[in-house]
Structure 1
């Protein structure tokens, strides 16, 4: 999973007020559960509908969270980070690195929490077409023998 390579990033501080269902997003990553190869950072994996993050609108799936209330998230285990979020209080300040989409039209990120690239159908359809054409040519060749 190497979704961060080749994408520019911008940083922002986002202040959220904890709602009835928390901050309204899920995270992945940490020293023990790397989401992106050779990167132990913490990433937003899902924004919950109607949650504090969704209502604010600035935090996006795929964003990297650099700090919570000024506490750097570098070199933390996933569970340590979860506890940090749980104990952050009702007013939470997030230092966030947004992922910017490449300008060449390539999606690069599917939006479902997983890094993406070329959709499978783009590769699969031409390969299947070549295989069918090859099989047809082989069968025609055998009929003539």
Structure 2
């Protein structure tokens, strides 16, 4: 082994049911608006909270969408891709290419979360302390009345 970092791709078919928020994600890219140099592909730019894609959990920001309901997205203008998604119907099949995270032994491992995820305890502990302090202050105030 050469000890190098490997980075590859995996493909997956994701079936989503359009909800009140549509499919629940935004796209970038296209022949007229390449997101990545020399690549006219369509990419997921944002997953909307509580949308169909977020609830499903498999589609990620940065994923490349290869096909919608079997229709290849190669060589499309951005607006043509947007229209394809808008007219895809209620049940939509997405062929998606995920970028695999680099693997480089223990140093490359960040746990189950994504890079940049904030551990839950970092949010909960200060929030809990703040809530307890607020309740204590309220009760003290009520005693003085």
Q: TM-score w.r.t. structure 2 length?
A: 0.68
- Aligned residue for 2:25? 25
Q: CA deviation at 1:110?
A: 6.7
Distance (Å, rounded) in 2 between the aligned partners of 1:35 and 1:26: 13
Distance (Å, rounded) in 1 between the aligned partners of 2:20 and 2:7: 34
Distance (Å, rounded) in 2 between the aligned partners of 1:7 and 1:14: 22
Structure 1: segments with no counterpart, 5+ residues: 1-5, 112-145
Give the length in aligned residue pairs. Answer: 105
The correspondence of residues 1-145 of structure 1 with structure 2, limited to 5 A, is 7-104=7-104, 105=108
Structure 2: segments with no counterpart, 5+ residues: 1-5, 117-145
Distance (Å, rounded) in 1 between the aligned partners of 2:7 and 2:21: 32
Quote the RMSD (CA, aligned, Å).
1.9
Q: Which runs of 4+ in 1 moved over 3 A?
A: none
CA deviation vs aligned residue, 1:41-97 (integer Å, no higher than 9, x gap) = 000001000000000000000100000000000000000000000000000000000
Label 1:110 to 1:82 Cα distance change in 2 as closer, same or farther (>3 A): farther
Any idea what SS the aligned residue of 1:94 has? Answer: strand
Distance (Å, rounded) in 2 between the aligned partners of 1:83 and 1:7: 32
Distance (Å, rounded) in 2 between the aligned partners of 1:19 and 1:71: 21
Q: CA deviation at 1:7?
A: 3.3
Instruction: Judge conservation of contact 2:27–2:46 (CA < 8 Å) in 1.
Output: yes
Any idea what SS the aligned residue of 2:83 has? Answer: helix
